[in-house]
Amino acid sequence: MSFEIDHRLKSDSTLLVKCNHIQIRLIHDSRYPWLILVPEYKDVYDVDDLDWNVQLQVLQISAWVCKALKVAFMPDKLNVAALGNIVKQLHIHHVARFEYDDTWPGPIWGKGKSLPYSPPDFEKRKGLICTTLKELNQGDLNAYYYD
């Protein structure tokens, strides 16, 4: 597998967890608890481009990430989306949204400027997400943590 992550996804996010060949990454924007899933498969742009067994893994990991965001942040709504109009390589957004956040109730993409984390705030958010994922893990997901 000669997968290489898109340079924009790489610079905009940090790898937290890998499950089989699916990365869970935290986006460098403190305005939202915002994760992306990146399946490490070359030339894949939509979920339906993946083999069915990989689609099932994506679904399982997506449900796990959604539950973790709900438990950790108690958002008013989750936004889950595969868009890719700018960066075509498949990445699936998972964003915890709040009625008081910067762009509510609109979508977050392309609105305003991203707000970098301070290093301690980034470590805190990363820690909370990883701890929550670990607490919720059902064992068969074969997760490797980078925290």
Residues in contact with a copy of itself by the rule CB under 8 A: 45-48, 55-56, 59, 62-63, 66-67, 76-86, 88, 97, 104-107, 109-110
Here the tokens at position 126 are: 């990363």
Could you tell me the strand order of the sheet in which 13-19 lies? 92-97, 34-39, 22-27, 13-19, 143-145
Query: Before 105, cis peptide (omega within 30)?
Result: yes
If the CB atoms of residues 83 and 115 are measured against a copy of itself, the closer one turns out to be 83
CB of 123 to a copy of itself, least distance (A): 27
If the CB atoms of residues 15 and 82 are measured against a copy of itself, the closer one turns out to be 82
Provide φ and ψ at 121, rounded to 5°. -65, -35
CB of 113 to a copy of itself, least distance (A): 15
If the CB atoms of residues 30 and 55 are measured against a copy of itself, the closer one turns out to be 55
CB of 104 to a copy of itself, least distance (A): 6
Alpha carbon dihedral 100, 103, 104, 108, in 10-degree steps, equals -130
CB of 65 to a copy of itself, least distance (A): 9
If the CB atoms of residues 110 and 116 are measured against a copy of itself, the closer one turns out to be 110
Smallest CA-to-CA distance from 25 within 87, 84, 16, 4 is with: 16
